[in-house]
Amino acid sequence: MRSRELTEFAGKYMAGGVSSSIRVNRAIGRPLFMAKGDGPKVWDVDGNELYDLNNSHGATILGHNHPKLRAAVEKALDMGVICSYETEYQSQLAQKICSMVPALEKVRYTCSGTEATMHLVRLAREITGKDKIIKFEGHFHGYHDYVQFSSSPPLQEAGPPDSPTPYCQSGGIPGIIADLIIVVPFNDVDAVERAIEENKDDVAAVILEPINYNSGCIVPTREYMEALRRLTRDNDVLLIFDEVLSAFRTNPGCAQEYFQVVPDLCAIGKCVAGGYPLSVFGGKKEFMDHLRPLGRSEHSGTYNGHLVPVLAALACLEEIDSPGFFDHVNQLADRFYNGLDQIFRETGLGRVQGLGARFGMYFGIDEEVTNYRQAAKSDPELSLKFTAAAINNGVYIADYGGKAAHHGFSAAYTLADIDEVLNRLQDAARQVRQG
């Protein structure tokens, strides 16, 4: 098999044999090497055709090889791929994004979600003159030092449920940074209120995934989100929504429109450019004007606002904002999540929770999952067995070390595709149960 040859070859020259640590799929013991993607499917180098339930960790919302994105990239190539210069298109894209997302009056571009949240944390500290950040257990905000805490802590090292211990997720991060991070449980208003009250003179911002896709799919109530907005506003603490994952999953205005709760600052990414490297951060004009050259907070980069992803994003958002787009996405979601949850219950695998174009699978769990501590009890070995069986049945599911995580479909799927995927996953589930 060519994939095995590539695995061996990559291991000689690339750390871990991959460009990104998470690409090693533990369920099959190696990364999948792809040859092409088109619509809802991908093909690996061994010629296997698979329905894609990873979709570039949610980036390819329109599916693979979308013709309007191809045309946008070709336009950029014809212009000479102008890099590190402004064109007319960066501001056009900014206007489009600000018209769609309630919190955004001004924006800046980065290449990754990690960079977007990094700049938001720095900006919040500059605006408020305070240093501490409140984040939620089980929420992921990228790989920079100030947020690499308690996104998926081992339960034995996570501390008390009502007052979690900041758990460092990576080696090489100075321990002293934990002094600036306050971790609280999700879906617990009292815990947030207590953390703010005890630290309000030091807390610059509260940052969260408004839909906690990092832990599968945990959707809070509108009342909870309104309480966060009230608590932060009343205590002069900025509210930051990390919508890198939740942006454009349920509607054109992102999770903040879904909950009717508007943060002070937010990050969007993943699917904003349909699979090309672009993330966006922004907020109210009064806050964004703290960035240089108007203020003191630095944000620069050679590839910020690169023409290729900017033009791709304009094309992608035109599709996302078109009439009927989310009617289609939500119709697919209802059909798929109801069907997969029924399969899980019939085979005793667990439960499925989803909203919009992303979902989570909880193995060995029957009750609704509302916080990280519950999600962390999902059976990793059962997850790996199901993932391997799904791949063998022609459905690609990414592995996140066996833990509860997010998966999803693209708008390129049809109801017939969803039904076919459900048939294949039913076979996979039965094979897992039969041993």
Question: Residue 421's domain is classified under what CATH number?
Answer: 3.90.1150.10
Mean pLDDT of 179-200: 98
CA distance 32 to 53: 13
pLDDT score, position 234: 98
Q: Are residues 174 and 255 in the same domain?
A: yes
CA distance 240 to 136: 12
CA distance 206 to 192: 9
Q: Are residues 241 and 349 in the same domain?
A: no
Other CB atoms within 10 Å distance of the CB of residue 271: 30
Q: With the CA atoms of 316, 91, 210 and 240 taken in that order, what torsion angle do they form, in degrees rounded to the nearest 10? A: 160
CA distance 138 to 216: 10
Q: Are residues 75 and 59 in the same domain?
A: no
C-beta separation of 350 from 366 below 8 A: yes
**pLDDT > 90 in the chain, percent:** 98
The 10s digit of each residue's pLDDT in 52-76 is 999 999 999 999 999 999 999 999 9
Task: Quote the domain boundaries for residue 299.
Answer: 67-320
Q: Are residues 242 and 268 in the same domain?
A: yes
Q: Are residues 261 and 194 in the same domain?
A: yes
The 10s digit of each residue's pLDDT in 90-108 is 999 999 999 999 999 999 9
pLDDT interval class at 1 (50, 70, 90): low
Give the three-class secondary structure for 168. Answer: strand
pLDDT score, position 224: 99
pLDDT score, position 419: 99
Cα distances from 322 to residues 71, 100, 253, 386, in angstroms, run 18, 12, 13, 36
Q: Which of 282, 304, 320 is the last residue of a domain?
A: 320
C-beta separation of 204 from 264 below 8 A: no
Query: Which of 162, 158, 136 lies closest to 147 in space, CA to CA?
Result: 136
Q: Are residues 148 and 230 in the same domain?
A: yes
Show the beta-strand stretches assigned E in 225-313.
238-243, 265-268, 279-283
Q: Are residues 153 and 247 in the same domain?
A: yes
Q: Which of 282, 297, 320 is the last residue of a domain?
A: 320
> Which tokens belong to 139?
């929420």
Q: What is the mean pLDDT of the chain?
A: 98
C-beta separation of 78 from 279 below 8 A: no
The 10s digit of each residue's pLDDT in 263-311 is 999 999 999 999 999 999 999 999 999 999 999 999 999 999 999 999 9
Q: Which of 320, 345, 377 is the last residue of a domain?
A: 320
pLDDT score, position 44: 97
Q: What angle do CA 297, 239, 290 make, to 5 degrees?
A: 20
Q: Are residues 310 and 344 in the same domain?
A: no
Q: Are residues 334 and 417 in the same domain?
A: yes
pLDDT score, position 435: 80
Q: Are residues 245 and 102 in the same domain?
A: yes
Q: What are phi and psi of 205, to 5 degrees?
A: -160, 155
List the 395-396 sheet strands across, edge first: 34-38, 41-44, 49-52, 395-396
Q: Are residues 28 and 142 in the same domain?
A: no
SS3 content of the chain, % helix, strand, coil (to 5): 45, 20, 40
Question: Residue 312's domain is classified under what CATH number?
Answer: 3.40.640.10
**pLDDT > 70 in the chain, percent:** 100
The 10s digit of each residue's pLDDT in 122-169 is 999 999 999 999 999 999 999 999 999 999 999 999 999 999 999 999
Number of domains composing the chain: 2
The 10s digit of each residue's pLDDT in 383-398 is 999 999 999 999 999 9
Q: Are residues 122 and 50 in the same domain?
A: no
